[in-house]
Structure 1
């Protein structure tokens, strides 16, 4: 489900971020986003210098699966 406040839409995107004052450089926190809120959530994090990546949820899941196996 989308992480935007009040949104109940299915998530399509993973917005990966990291607060360098709190997290180690390799750490990735994630928000999920629907098509409608992807840009808003990405911009919010980018303005703060936290945004690391935006990828489709299916791609993120495939990457996670490969990392667990490898």
Structure 2
């Protein structure tokens, strides 16, 4: 991994990958069917570099439900 330049906006989400401080660009919606109801969605956020790795981690466990761009996810929160 190269040097990561922190986001200019301190309130913007950062990648959920351990040790990564890059700005998040993706939302990974998931749930653990042993713990959560089918409609419940937990979220991790990912930078471009870690999107595939985090998606694979959740997918191998059968937890991954959706991967959407962060901007699209935030628009969905508006209404």
TM-score by length of 2: 0.82
Q: Report what 1:7 is aligned to.
A: 20
Unaligned runs of 5+ in 1: none
Q: Which has the larger radius of gyration?
A: 2
How many residues are treated as equivalent by the alignment?
Answer: 66
**Correspondence 1:9-48 to 2 at 5 A:** 9-48=22-61
Deviation at 1:22, TM superposition (A): 0.2
Deviation at 1:64, TM superposition (A): 1.4
Bigger relative contact order (CA 8 A; separation at least 6): 1
Structure 1 runs (4+) deviating above 2 angstroms are: none
TM-score by length of 1: 0.92
Q: Report what 1:53 is aligned to.
A: 66
Unaligned runs of 5+ in 2: 1-13
SS of residue paired to 1:42: helix
CA RMSD of aligned residues (A): 0.4
Any idea what the Cα deviations from partners look like across 1:12-45, whole Å, max 9, x if unmatched? 0000000000001000000000000000000000
